[in-house]
Amino acid sequence: MQIDFSADGFDFATSVGYERAVGDGEPIVLCGVPLVVEQTRDVDDDGGTGNVLWAGGVQLARELERGVARDELKWRLLLAEMDPRDGRRKEEDHLRSAPRAIELGAGCAGLPGVVLALRFGMRVTLTEHPLMIPTLTRNLESIKAQVNALAGAGSIEEDAVNAVNAIEIRALDWGDDDALAELAGGPGYQARSIHWSPYDPVGVLVVWADAGYRGDNALLLRAAIACVSPCGGIVLACEALRSETVTRTFRRRFGECGLFVVEILGEGGDSSETWTFTMRWQRKAEGIKAREAMASKRYVSKRVMRDEDEGSWGWGSE
Judged against a pLDDT cut of 70, whether residue 94 lies above it is answered with no
Mean pLDDT for the chain overall = 73
Distance CA 77, CA 28 (A): 26
CA distance 38 to 139: 6
**Torsion-angle region of residue 38: left (phi > 0), alpha (psi -120 to 50) or beta?**
beta
Q: What is the pLDDT of residue 8?
A: 37
Find how far residue 70's CA is from the centre of its chain: 16
The confidence score (pLDDT) of residue 143 equals: 94
Lowest mean pLDDT among 15-24, 173-182, 203-212, 242-251: 15-24
Where are the domains positioned within the chain? 28-301
Single-letter residue type at 284: K
| CA triple 282-203-160, angle to 5 deg | 135
Q: Are 235 and 211 in contact (CB under 8 A)?
A: no
* pLDDT tens figures, 161-212: 999 999 999 999 999 999 999 888 766 566 555 554 444 544 568 999 887 6
Q: Which parts of the chain are beta strand (E)? A: 28-30, 33-35, 100-103, 123-128, 168-171, 203-209, 234-240, 260-265, 274-281
For residue 125, the SS3 value is strand
Mean pLDDT of all residues in 71-84 = 53
Which architecture, in CATH terms, is 28-301? 3-Layer(aba) Sandwich (3.40)
- pTM value surpassing 0.75: yes
Q: What is the DSSP-derived secondary structure letter of residue 128?
A: E
Model confidence over 128-167: pLDDT tens digits? 999 999 999 999 999 999 999 998 888 788 889 999 999 9
